Amino acid sequence: MNATRRIARALMLGCALTLASGLALATSTLAQDITLRASHQFPGGKGDPRDEMVQMIARDVEAANVGLKIQVFPGASLFKANEQWGAITKGQLDITSFPLDYASGRVPQFSATLMPGLVRNFDRADRLNESPFMQEIKALIEKNGALVIADAWLSGAFASKKGCITGPDSIKGQVTRAAGPAFEQMLAAAGASIASMPSSEIYSGMQTGVLDATNTSSESFVSYRLFEQVKCLTAPGENAIWFMYEPVLMSKQSFDRLNPAQQKALLDAGKKAQAWFATEVRKGDQKLIDTYKKAGVEVVEMSAADYDAWLKVAQESSYKNFAEKVKGGDELIKKALSVQ
């Protein structure tokens, strides 16, 4: 009887070990099968730091060996630029590098992240990231179904096929693209006509005569080769009125289905990419100037007087409109302006 019991126990132990081994293998296989899809509108493999940022996150996540991979779809090859917010908040897309103001039609408060003159320089942008202003913005992002994996602020410039854009008078009569409603309102108040489109369509807009002028990020001015279309570039310089928040976002639905190790790997990769981007993006303005001068484009900068004149136009148009029409808008602007 004792021998029979020993045999039975051995068989039971063997079955248990086999089952445990099978479950471990199945769990490992399932983990390895998790592939996230990342989308953005920017050119891939051409040095755009927004693409590089997402690619870096993908490489570091895979290197963490937690059963997670990220497949990157650059150049709006998976979703069009303006479709990405809806896709990521609904869980149809996992990760995106996204100009947040593009979603201001759905969340009007996001226009504050592309408000003329609100940021001015990179050091202040870094301080904004930890401020009550950005805490409120990030709470709205999360409320709508996404979360920030990495912060990213970009400076921007102006350019025209007709001449140099300096003070408000220089934009009058030109058909101009602006990145969002706040800039559109300011430029319209200065006498420009507005044509709305994502940055990925500016080149064709200028090539076909739809646009005379544009403003966009320094990186987009280089990546989209707009130097082939314009006569004069107004570089950001010391008096930049254009700064835009373009974070790496993740769908909350996608994030919540990851295990703790995968979540940590993703957040760690995002933190590392954010630090890299903050250093790299500062080089972008000089690269912009060098690229455009080499292409024979005239390059100028706004003076302090030009900046003040634009700020006055903005306060009477986009700032005023934002405060009146957006819930909590006036308080949100005050929070941003209070950051020294």
Give the other-Cβ count within 10 Å of 279's Cβ.
10
Range of the domain at 238: 34-337
- Asked whether residue 141 is assigned to any structural domain, the reply reads yes
- Give yes or no for a contact between 274 and 258, defined as CB atoms under 8 angstroms apart: no
Is 103 inside any structural domain?
yes
pLDDT at 181: 85
Helices (DSSP H) in 44-150: which residue ranges? 49-63, 84-89, 122-129, 132-143
* Nearest in space to 146 (alpha carbons), one of 222, 55, 40, 252: 252
* pLDDT reported for residue 18: 39
Q: How far apart are CA 75 and CA 45, in angstroms?
A: 10
Mean pLDDT in order along the chain per 10 residues (340 residues):
45 42 38 83 84 96 96 89 91 95 93 90 90 96 98 95 96 92 94 92 96 93 96 93 95 97 98 95 91 98 94 94 93 90
Can you tell me which residue has the tokens 């039609």? 105
Is 4 a member of any domain? no
Question: What per-residue confidence (pLDDT) applies to 2?
Answer: 43
The per-residue pLDDT for 99 is 92
| Residue that the structure tokens 């489109």 belong to | 197
CATH number for the domain spanning 227: value is: 3.40.190.170
Sign of CA dihedral 194, 288, 220, 97: negative
Pair of tokens at residue 152: 């990213």
Examine residue 301 and state whether it is found in any structural domain, yes or no: yes
Token output for 318: 């986009």
Left (φ > 0), alpha (ψ -120 to 50) or beta: where does 270 sit? alpha
Number of domains in the chain: 1
DSSP state of 302: -
Question: 69 forms bridges with which residues in the sheet?
Answer: 35
Output the pLDDT for position 25: 33
Tokens of 112: 């504050």
58 neighbors 72 (Cβ within 8 angstroms): yes
User: C-alpha 98: how far from its chain's center?
Assistant: 3
CA-derived radius of gyration, the chain = 24
Distance CA 91, CA 141 (A): 14
* Residue 326 counted as domain residue: yes
Q: Does 19 fall in a domain?
A: no
Short-list 183, 175, 182, 307, CA closest to 234: 307
Domain presence at residue 28: no
Q: Is residue 121 part of a domain?
A: yes
Q: Which residue has the tokens 């986009």?
A: 318
- Give CA–CA dist 200/184, Å, rounded: 17
